[in-house]
Amino acid sequence: MRIFIGLYNIANLMDIYSNGFRRLGFQVDCFEVSDHPFYDLKTRKVNLYTSASQVMNSYLENSSGVKLPPPHRDDRLLDMLEHLMRDFLQYDIYIFMNCMSLLPGNLDYPILKRNGKIIISLFSGSEIRHSRSAADIWSAMDNDLPDVMSSPDDVTYTHDQMEGYKIAHRNIYERSIDKKIQNVCMAELFADVTLSVPEQSGLQLKPYQAYVHAVDSYNIKPIIHGRKYPIVTHLPSNPAVKRSDLILRALDELSREGVKFTLIAKSGIPHLEVMRLLSESDILIDQISNFPALLSHEGMASGCAVLTGCHPLSMPIPLEEVGCPAVHITIKTLKEQIRNIIKDREERCRVSKQGVEYIAELCTPQMAAERLIDALERASRAEYDYFPMWHHAHIFEVFKAVTPYSRGLIIESIKKNGQPSRTPFTAESPEWSYPIHHLGGWTYCRALKPLKPHPPHKP
């Protein structure tokens, strides 16, 4: 089978998944809209957005005064757009990162489906995150949503019959509730499987599969240095998201108090330089958040003791189920957790060793590819991991505020996938045909496996 992966190499996932699928014997091609500023991945380049926009604009001009269907149901328009992407219809499986696909507004999704293709949509964050829902989830885990991620999603469009076509043209990262609903619902209507995490599921309606981070561990040799006075690194790609101001302030205060360490702090550097610094370091302080991102996994693979967001309920599969050994930090615990891991060399080495084992057991490229295949098979049987029910009252609130086009997308998704419950934290929901399980206020489509035991971190 042939696999298409594109079009934005967020968290180096295109490289990771392509390596994994190739090891499983698949033929894989990666496509990007443009080169990534941090990752040197050799990919093909494709950008159909300009030509697709010209087709759509010409089509709308020639349809003046004619009542048109929503763009994803407009067969005349889709026929014209299919002609543009005819050279890209040779694959069997299409894996799209962060809602960025071949055509504006994911209008290639219905085209791919009518050609019998398999679509995997991986949600990665701000393209679908509902800031109000996410803020509630972060607060429940004793953290604050960073300011850069918490701007209200309240941009709306003029209510006319062309609004669906206008929304389809907009950038996937626009902070518009209408655009985010379109990003979510197009995947829920046409993708064979969606992958996501709970904190960004405030607008999702369909149950989804767990996204588990992976890392290119094949090319990383872990080194646990065990220095008395460790090298501490902080390497943010986006300091505002990582809360670098608080991390660097805590490190400065510890240094003034006589805690001995060497600090390496750099931002926005190439990936090869990041990996070199990790291999030389004892400790990586990644970010104040709720779950470990790619850099945290690269730090664990390199042999660092990693401090980051690692609340087990933020990503229970695998944090609660497997037991990720990264040390969880919040605004309140940041300074003391750093102090402990710097001063306690034995604990630091233990955490580092567990991190290396965790990556080897769960987070290799081949395992990531195998999980995607498993997710497809389970989704075909309506077996899912997560149930998107965190404060679904938000859905009913935004339903009143968005454009008729967005409301139509929500209604389509509900008709296809089921009715979300207004009371998410009760027992069995009669609207759904599969079992519901509960953990700490979150709701899941399957019971979690017993936690793999790790010795607890010292307080």
Q: 253 and 186 in one domain?
A: no
Average pLDDT, the chain: 87
Within this chain, do residues 201 and 242 fall inside the same structural domain, yes or no? no
Over residues 389-399, the mean pLDDT reads: 67
Tell me what pLDDT residue 424 has. 41
Per-residue pLDDT, averaged over 44-68, amounts to: 90
Residue 450 located in a structural domain: no
CA distances to 4, 137, 149, 188, 407 from 153, rounded to whole Å, are 31, 16, 10, 20, 16
Residue 389 lies in a domain: yes
- Look at residue 225 and tell me if it is in a domain: yes
- Out of 336, 362, 388, a domain closes at 362
With respect to residue 459, please indicate whether it lies within any of the assigned structural domains.
no
| CA gap 354, 348 in Å, rounded | 10
> Cα-flanking dihedrals φ and ψ of residue 443, to 5°?
-125, 135
First to last CA, the chain: 50
- Of 313, 346, 362, the residue that ends a domain is 362
> The domain spanning residue 261 has which CATH number?
3.40.50.2000
pLDDT digits (tens, 9 = 90+) for 328-358: 999 999 999 999 999 999 999 999 999 999 9
- Of residues 381 and 335, more confidently modeled: 335
Task: Say if residue 206's pLDDT is above 90.
Answer: no
On whether both 182 and 279 belong to a single domain, the answer is: no
pLDDT at 222: 96
Nearest to 328 by CA among 374, 268, 287: 287
Report the 10 Å Cβ neighbour count for 280: 14
- pLDDT higher than threshold 90 for residue 193: yes
Q: What is the DSSP letter of 40?
A: -
pLDDT tens across 439-458, in order? 555 566 666 665 455 454 45
pLDDT at position 448: 61
Considering only CA atoms, which of 148, 288, 281, 273 is closest in space to residue 225? 281
Task: Identify whether residues 151 and 265 lie together within a single domain.
Answer: no
Q: Are residues 374 and 356 in the same domain?
A: no
**Of 347, 362, 377, at which residue does a domain stop?**
362
One domain, residues 34 and 163: yes
**Domain count for the chain:** 2
Closest CA to 180 of 146, 157, 211: 157
Q: DSSP letter at 448?
A: P
Residues 343-377: b if buried by 16+ CB within 10 A, e if exposed:
bebebbbbbbebbbebbeebbbbbbbbebbbebbe
Amino acid at 342: I
Q: What is the pLDDT of residue 172?
A: 87
Phi then psi dihedrals of residue 16, to 5 deg: -65, -50
Most confident of the following: 57-66, 297-306, 399-408: 297-306
Same domain, 144 and 79: yes
Are 289 and 412 contained in the same domain? no
3-state DSSP call for residue 232? strand
pLDDT class of 426 with cuts at 50, 70, 90: very low
Q: Which of 83-92, 348-357, 432-441 has the lowest mean pLDDT?
A: 432-441
When pLDDT is cut at 50, 70 and 90, the band that residue 160 belongs to is confident
Clarify whether residues 166 and 226 are in a common domain. Answer: no
Where does the pLDDT of residue 423 fall: very low under 50, low under 70, confident under 90, or very high at 90 and above?
A: very low
> CA quadruple 310, 312, 318, 320: dihedral positive or negative?
positive
Residues 372 and 325 in one domain: no
Domain extent for 114: 2-214+368-444
Q: Is residue 123 part of a domain?
A: yes
Greatest Cα pair distance, the chain, in angstroms, is 76
Residues 343 and 397 in one domain: no
Whether 315 and 436 map to the same domain: the answer is no
- 454 domain-assigned: no
Beta strand extents in 91-141 (DSSP E only): 93-97, 118-122
The Cα–Cα gap between 198 and 88 comes to: 32
Residue 316 lies in a domain: yes
- Condensed to tens digits (0 to 9), the pLDDT of residues 291-315 reads 899 999 999 999 999 999 998 878 8
% of the chain surpassing 70 pLDDT: 88
For 197-237, where are the E strands, in sequence order?
Answer: 209-210, 231-234
Q: Which residues pair with 387 in a beta bridge?
A: none
More confident residue, 304 or 126: 304
Domain membership of residue 452 (yes or no) is no
**Average of per-residue pLDDT across 183-210:** 91
Highest mean pLDDT, choosing among 25-34, 130-139, 341-350 = 341-350
Tokens 């996501």 belong to residue: 196
